[in-house]
Structure 1
Amino acid sequence: MNKELLKKSQSLIALFVLCLAISLLSDKFLTANNLWNVLRQISVNVCISVGMTLVVLTAGIDLSVGSVLAFTSAVCAGLLKNGIALESFDLFIGFTTLGGILAALLIGLLIGVFNGWVITRFSLPPFVVTLAMLTVARGATMLYTQGMPISNLGTSFEYIGSGWLIGIPVPVWISLIVVLIVVFISKKTTFGRYIYAIGGNEKAAFLSGININSIKLAVYGIAGLMAAVGGVLVSSRLNSAQPNAGTSYELDSIAAVVIGGTSLSGGIGSVTGTVIGATIIGVLNNGLVLLNVSPFWQQVVKGLVILLAVIIDQKSKKK
Structure 2
Amino acid sequence: MNGQSLENKFSLKDIFIKYNAILILIILIVVSAILSPVFLTPGNIFNLLRQNMPLLIISMGMLYVILTGGIDLSVGSMAAVGGMVLSMALTSWGLNSGIGLVLALILAFVPGIVLGAASGALIAYVRVAPFIVTLAMMTIAKGMAFIFTNGQPVRWPQDTAATSALISFGKDSALGIPWPVILGIAVFVIFLLITRFTVFGRMIIATGSNETAVNLSGIKAQKYQFSAYVISGCMAVLGGICMTARTGMGTPITGDGYELDAIAACVIGGASLSGGKGKVVNTLIGVMILALITNIMNLMSVPAYPQQIVKGLVIIGAVVLQKVGASSKNTAV
Give the TM interval when normalised to the shorter protein.
over 0.9
| Structure 2 residue identity aligned to 1:221 | V
- The equivalent of 1:255 in structure 2 is 264
- The equivalent of 1:65 in structure 2 is 75
Report the Cα offset of residue 38 of structure 1: 0.4
Instruction: Please tell me whether residue 11 in structure 1 is matched to residue 15 in structure 2.
Output: no
- The equivalent of 2:287 in structure 1 is 278
* Matching residue within 232, 246, 251 for 1:242: 251
Instruction: Please tell me whether residue 186 in structure 1 is matched to residue 195 in structure 2.
Output: yes
Q: Which of the two has higher C-alpha Rg?
A: 2
Shift of the 281–53 alpha-carbon distance from structure 1 to 2, 3 Å rule, reads same
Instruction: Please tell me whether residue 132 in structure 1 is matched to residue 136 in structure 2.
Output: yes
Report the Cα offset of residue 276 of structure 1: 0.7
- The answer to whether the 8 A contact 2:71-2:131 is kept is yes
* Identity within the alignment, %: 38
SS at match of 1:96: helix
- The equivalent of 2:46 in structure 1 is 36
- The equivalent of 1:88 in structure 2 is none
Instruction: Please tell me whether residue 264 in structure 1 is matched to residue 264 in structure 2.
Output: no
SS at match of 1:247: coil
Instruction: Please tell me whether residue 227 in structure 1 is matched to residue 208 in structure 2.
Output: no
Residue range with higher mean Cα deviation, 64-73 or 28-37: 28-37
When the two structures are superposed, what TM-score results if normalisation uses the length of structure 2?
A: 0.89
Report the Cα offset of residue 106 of structure 1: 3.3
Instruction: Please tell me whether residue 26 in structure 1 is matched to residue 30 in structure 2.
Output: no
| Structure 2 residue identity aligned to 1:73 | G
Report the Cα offset of residue 84 of structure 1: 6.5
- The answer to whether the 8 A contact 1:82-1:94 is kept is no
Report the Cα offset of residue 138 of structure 1: 0.6
Shift of the 182–293 alpha-carbon distance from structure 1 to 2, 3 Å rule, reads same
Query: For residues 18 and 166 of structure 1, what CA distance do their matches in structure 2 show?
Result: 28
- The equivalent of 1:76 in structure 2 is 86
Report the Cα offset of residue 107 of structure 1: 2.7
SS at match of 1:140: helix
Query: For residues 105 and 301 of structure 1, what CA distance do their matches in structure 2 show?
Result: 34
- The answer to whether the 8 A contact 1:57-1:263 is kept is yes
* Matching residue within 104, 113, 117 for 2:108: 104
When the two structures are superposed, what TM-score results if normalisation uses the length of structure 1?
A: 0.93
Query: For residues 55 and 124 of structure 1, what CA distance do their matches in structure 2 show?
Result: 15
| Structure 2 residue identity aligned to 1:209 | G
- The equivalent of 1:114 in structure 2 is 118
- The answer to whether the 8 A contact 1:59-1:199 is kept is yes
- The equivalent of 1:315 in structure 2 is 324
Where in structure 1 do 4 or more consecutive aligned residues deviate above 3 Å? 1-8
Deviations 1:197-237 (A, max 9, x none): 11111111211122111111111100000001101100000
- The answer to whether the 8 A contact 1:83-1:95 is kept is no
Matches for 1:128-167 after TM superposition, within 5 Å: 128-153=132-157, 154-167=163-176
Report the Cα offset of residue 81 of structure 1: 1.1
| Structure 2 residue identity aligned to 1:148 | Q
Report the Cα offset of residue 116 of structure 1: 0.4
- The answer to whether the 8 A contact 1:79-1:94 is kept is no
Residue range with higher mean Cα deviation, 265-274 or 147-156: 147-156
Query: For residues 102 and 182 of structure 1, what CA distance do their matches in structure 2 show?
Result: 21
The number of aligned residues is: 313
- The answer to whether the 8 A contact 1:194-1:210 is kept is no
- The equivalent of 1:48 in structure 2 is 58
| Structure 2: gaps of 5 or more residues | 1-10, 158-162, 329-333
| Structure 1: gaps of 5 or more residues | 86-92
Query: For residues 306 and 210 of structure 1, what CA distance do their matches in structure 2 show?
Result: 35
Report the Cα offset of residue 95 of structure 1: 6.5
Shift of the 315–4 alpha-carbon distance from structure 1 to 2, 3 Å rule, reads closer
SS at match of 2:19: helix
Query: For residues 254 and 147 of structure 1, what CA distance do their matches in structure 2 show?
Result: 27
- The answer to whether the 8 A contact 1:109-1:221 is kept is yes
Shift of the 8–161 alpha-carbon distance from structure 1 to 2, 3 Å rule, reads farther
